[in-house]
């Protein structure tokens, strides 16, 4: 369980990346969703003790990230955004080194490495130098290392960015089987829907809303999205509105697109109550 209270982060150049976030992360899998620059990576880096908050407190399974970073590191595993293995060490060697460094015994490390590599379909390449792997495969290897760690809490910063659809499914399936608590960031609505017990929506350095996918979509129940001119909401040059399914018929044949409501609509409306 992770509890954060009033976390703020102002980078030395004055950028206010986090403007006071408080939350209790207690679900098995939490997806932090947010647009580019929302503050997701900053939050993950603070929780995994790679970055100090400017103010506020964060407690990870009972340990304080500022005063007990060593304790926190002992119970977490974290994959940074865009981190990729490199060099001549193979996937198997990468896993073994990582698990040994975390204090796992050799035979257990070998068993867990094989299991994680297999779960992510990396068995065939497990003896190839990391430099010779494709970009997506390198990324999967880092995910495998985190999963093999059996850490109490695993942080994955955009674990599936750049992965093909099948690889993405493999990562999802491996995450679902984990006993560890998982906190991951993503831009993919589908990922949040498939994986998360809770979605935390971050925008402009604040948590703007959180809940299960069903809870977040509740205000849109029975509605469809009408994209076209004159809508109430505007984003990226599009304007749209939300109307009851029954009333959508009157838009047929007009110059608009009618779409089912999806998790992305929460972003668009930023949790604003939807009316017709
Ligand atoms: N080292 C830094 N120095 C100054 N500003 C930074 C630094 N790192 C991040 N920022 C800024 O802090 C804000 C939040 O960045 P962060 O990387 O946390 O966003 P993010 O939600 O992870 O975005 P993305 O989805 O693009 O990965 C952005 O405005 C970013 O430019
Ligand atoms: Mg990021």
Task: Tell which wins on pLDDT, 31 or 260.
Answer: 31
Cβ pair 74, 101 in contact under 8 A: no
pLDDT of amino acid 276: 47
Q: What is the mean pLDDT of the chain?
A: 91
Nearest ligand 1 atom, CA 42: 18
The CB-side HSE value for 108 (13 A sphere, CA atoms) comes to 11
User: Bridge-partner residues for 210, per DSSP?
Assistant: 200
Nearest ligand 1 atom, CA 205: 14
Closest residue by Cα to atom 29, ligand 1, is: 37
Task: Delineate the domains of the chain, giving CATH numbers in brackets.
Answer: 2-211 (3.40.50.300), 217-269 (no CATH)
What is the distance between the alpha carbons of residues 130 and 205, in angstroms, rounded to a whole number? 35
For residue range 187-207, list pLDDT tens digits in order. 888 899 999 999 999 999 999
Residue 34 CA to ligand 2 center (angstroms) comes to 9
- Evaluate if residue 273 carries a pLDDT over 80: no
Cβ pair 38, 57 in contact under 8 A: no
pLDDT of amino acid 246: 87
pLDDT bucket at 229, cuts 50 / 70 / 90: low
Task: Tell which wins on pLDDT, 62 or 269.
Answer: 62
Closest residue by Cα to atom 18, ligand 1, is: 39
- Evaluate if residue 215 carries a pLDDT over 80: yes
Ligand 1 cavity residues, CB under 6 Å: 11, 13, 15, 17, 34, 36-42, 81
Task: Tell which wins on pLDDT, 175 or 271.
Answer: 175
pLDDT of amino acid 274: 52
For residue range 57-88, list pLDDT tens digits in order. 999 999 999 999 999 999 999 999 988 899 99
Other C-beta atoms within 10 Å of 15: how many?
12
Length of the chain: 276
In this structure, what token pair is assigned to residue 133?
């792997």
- Evaluate if residue 275 carries a pLDDT over 70: no
Nearest ligand 1 atom, CA 41: 22
Give this prediction's pTM.
Answer: 0.92
Other C-beta atoms within 10 Å of 228: how many?
15
Nearest to residue 188, comparing CAs of 242, 119, 267, 84?
267
pLDDT of amino acid 219: 87
Rounded to the nearest 10 degrees, what angle do helices 135-148 and 165-177 cross at?
0
Handedness of CA 173, 176, 182, 187 (dihedral sign): positive
Substitution candidate for ligand 1 out of 8, 9, 10, 11 with most atoms within 8 A of CB: 11
Residue 148 CA to ligand 1 center (angstroms) comes to 28
Residue 206's alpha-carbon distances to 17, 209, 257, in angstroms, are 9, 9, 32
Closest residue by Cα to atom 26, ligand 1, is: 36
What is the distance between the alpha carbons of residues 31 and 239, in angstroms, rounded to a whole number? 27
């Amino acid at each position: 369980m992770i509890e954060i209270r009033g976390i703020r982060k102002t980078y030395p150049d004055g950028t206010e990346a986090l403007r006071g976030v408080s939350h209790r992360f207690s679900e098995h899998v939490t997806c932090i969703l947010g647009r580019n620059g929302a503050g997701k990576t900053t939050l993950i880096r603070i929780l995994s003790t790679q970055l100090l908050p400017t103010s506020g407190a964060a407690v990870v399974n009972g340990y304080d990230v500022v005063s007990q970073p060593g304790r926190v590191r002992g119970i977490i595993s974290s994959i940074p955004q865009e981190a990729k293995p490199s060099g001549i060490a193979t996937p198997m060697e990468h896993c073994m080194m990582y698990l040994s460094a975390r204090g796992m015994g050799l035979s257990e490390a070998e068993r867990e490495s094989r299991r994680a590599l297999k779960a992510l379909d990396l068995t065939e390449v497990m003896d190839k130098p990391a430099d010779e792997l494709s970009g997506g495969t390198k990324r999967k290897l880092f995910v495998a290392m985190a999963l093999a760690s059996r850490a109490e809490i695993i942080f994955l910063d955009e674990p599936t960015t750049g992965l093909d659809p099948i690889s993405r499914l493999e990562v999802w399936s491996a995450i679902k089987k984990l006993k560890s608590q998982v906190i991951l960031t993503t831009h993919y609505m589908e990922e949040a829907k498939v994986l998360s017990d809770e979605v935390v929506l971050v925008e402009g350095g604040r948590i703007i809303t959180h809940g299960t996918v069903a809870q977040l979509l509740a205000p849109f129940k029975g509605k469809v999205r009408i994209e076209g001119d004159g809508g109430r909401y505007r984003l990226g040059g599009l304007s749209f509105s939300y109307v009851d399914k029954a009333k959508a018929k009157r838009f047929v044949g007009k110059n608009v697109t009618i779409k089912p409501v999806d998790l992305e609509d929460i972003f668009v409306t930023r949790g604003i109550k939807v009316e017709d």
